[in-house]
Amino acid sequence: MAKGKGAIYPGSFDPVTNGHLDVIQRAAKIFDHVIVAVADNTSKRPFFTIQERVSLLQDVTRGIKNVCVETFDTLVVDYARHKNINVLIRGLRMTSDFDYEFQIALTNRRLAEDIETVFLMPSEHVSFVSSSLLKEVAGLNADISSFVPKVVVRKLKEHLRRK
């Protein structure tokens, strides 16, 4: 893939939210090819397995032709170099995200100054949605159907029933 034509949107996506999907759709309009890269980070304790997260993302992005879903278990800049891509997408929901995302972007720049970070903001109606908050309220039987795709609602309910 030629540099500048593609971008990587990395994250844990545990689970994918309508905010994530909004950022994916925005990135797909800007770049020729977008890889949604699901982090296989063993130091975190994800709610869903890596396979479940990939499957959910594949399901909700199926209609977006220039998007694919993959996993990675390295530094994201190493993964980007391996893919010959020099743009990372990061979503900014609220101003409170900025400090954390800015630290990540500067660290990545120090590690790989040839790789740029582009920040995309989701639509305002999904800008406050966070995966961790959704898991918490879903566990308390709240209706989260306006925050996540329908397939995620079903999968969350199944997962919570098994616990």
- Which residues belong to the active site? 20, 44, 93, 131
How far, in Å, CA of 60 to CA of 148, rounded? 10
What are the phi and psi torsion angles at 39 (to 5°)?
A: -75, 130
β-strand pairing of 67-72 with 87-91: unpaired
Q: Beta-carbon neighbour count of residue 9 at 10 Å?
A: 27
Return d(Cα 73, Cα 156) in angstroms, integer.
24
Q: Whole-angstrom Cα distance, residue 11 to residue 104?
A: 12
What count of other Cβ atoms lies within 10 Å of the Cβ of residue 150? 10
